């Protein structure tokens, strides 16, 4: 106990001024990030509805969490989320790496193309969703027009068909966020050492062999960072789904985040919605920890 007291005294004597300088940032973090998390966890332990005129909060313990794990709608929306995450992240990793390799040369054309390709990232996801919803419209949309021209049956439009709705919203995400992975992979490619490639040329390795045995292994840390960022973003997707399909047709595109919105802002069951949000937070946190552990092993 005495040694612990001495440690605290030494900290505040030697590093206390750093803590004082950081105090405004710490207060901001507590107010904006930490307090809402505690509030969300507290509300999840209560039966609380915004439509109750008395705003009664009845303590129910873990009942909302137990209800979530036995709710088939939650299970189905989580499965839909996993399909969306797997589709978007896998394709964006492949396309982002391909574009980075294609546009890595410092030529004027490559610079212009890179500038145009990153423009979708500057557009809010809600606006992107509305624009693509118009493009997918069965009556005047450009995409159904050309699909019909090549003999494909689009029915009521890609967003209204059960088999086409999920690929359609995945395509929207690809268009907006593949450039982000392109930028990340470009940064990774620019930081690679040249010595292994020079040795590969001397040994007579082909371009494909250099890519497979040198570039890909050296890009593993970069790929893990890109994978972490896009996985977290894809799990939290809401704007695109809300603007394009609103979870439909049926529940084909009802991801977990949209279901949380429906529970909280349509049925006003705030306790249950908070529990679902906390479950989603835990899922993302666990995946993030796994990615970070793998990334640290790659750097050893």
Number of domains in the chain: 2
Residue 79 sits in a domain whose CATH number is 1.10.3720.10
Pair (150, 274) in one structural domain: yes
Pair (38, 88) in one structural domain: no
Tell me, what's the pLDDT at 15? Answer: 56
Tell me, what's the pLDDT at 7? Answer: 55
60 in any annotated domain: no
Pair (268, 224) in one structural domain: yes
17 in any annotated domain: yes
**CA 182/CA 98 separation, integer angstroms:** 8
* Whole-structure pTM value: 0.88
56 in any annotated domain: no
Pair (91, 121) in one structural domain: yes
Pair (163, 277) in one structural domain: yes
203 in any annotated domain: yes
Tell me, what's the pLDDT at 14? Answer: 55
26 in any annotated domain: yes
Pair (32, 147) in one structural domain: no
Q: Residue 114 sits in which domain range?
A: 66-299
Pair (143, 20) in one structural domain: no
270 in any annotated domain: yes
Pair (222, 281) in one structural domain: yes
Tell me, what's the pLDDT at 5? Answer: 61
Pair (155, 10) in one structural domain: no
Pair (102, 157) in one structural domain: yes
* pLDDT tens, N- to C-terminus, the chain (300 residues): 555 565 555 555 555 566 676 778 778 877 888 888 899 999 999 999 888 888 888 999 999 999 999 999 999 999 999 999 999 999 999 999 999 999 988 888 989 999 899 999 999 999 999 999 999 998 889 999 998 888 888 888 899 999 999 999 999 999 999 999 999 999 999 999 989 988 988 888 888 999 999 999 999 989 998 999 999 999 999 999 999 999 989 899 999 999 999 999 999 999 999 999 999 999 999 988 888 888 777 666
Tell me, what's the pLDDT at 85? Answer: 96
13 in any annotated domain: yes
Pair (172, 248) in one structural domain: yes
């Amino acid at each position: 106990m005495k040694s612990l007291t001495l440690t605290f005294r030494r900290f505040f004597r030697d590093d206390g001024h750093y803590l004082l300088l950081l105090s405004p940032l710490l207060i901001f973090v507590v107010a904006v990030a930490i307090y809402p998390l505690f509030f969300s966890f507290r509300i999840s332990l209560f039966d609380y509805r915004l439509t109750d005129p008395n705003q009664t909060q009845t303590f129910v313990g873990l009942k909302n969490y137990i209800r979530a794990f036995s709710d088939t709608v939650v299970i189905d929306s989580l499965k839909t989320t996993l399909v969306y995450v797997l589709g978007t992240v896998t394709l964006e990793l492949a396309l982002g790496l391909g574009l980075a390799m294609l546009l890595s040369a410092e030529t004027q054309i490559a610079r212009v193309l890179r500038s145009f390709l990153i423009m979708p990232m500057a557009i809010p996801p809600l606006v992107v969703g509305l624009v693509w919803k118009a493009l997918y419209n069965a009556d005047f949309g450009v995409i159904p027009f050309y699909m019909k021209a090549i003999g494909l049956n689009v029915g009521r439009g890609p967003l209204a068909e059960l088999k086409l709705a999920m690929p359609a919203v995945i395509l929207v995400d690809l268009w907006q966020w593949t450039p982000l992975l392109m930028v990340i992979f470009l940064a990774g490619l620019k930081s690679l050492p040249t010595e292994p490639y020079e040795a590969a040329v001397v040994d007579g390795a082909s371009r494909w062999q250099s890519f497979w045995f040198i570039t890909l292994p050296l890009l593993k840390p970069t790929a893990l960072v890109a994978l972490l960022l896009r996985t977290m973003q894809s799990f939290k997707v809401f704007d695109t789904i809300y603007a394009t399909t609103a979870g439909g047709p049926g529940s084909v595109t009802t991801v977990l985040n949209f279901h949380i919105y429906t529970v909280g802002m349509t049925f006003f069951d705030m306790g249950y919605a908070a529990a679902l949000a906390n479950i989603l937070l835990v899922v993302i946190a666990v995946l993030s920890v796994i990615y970070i552990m793998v990334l640290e092993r790659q750097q050893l």
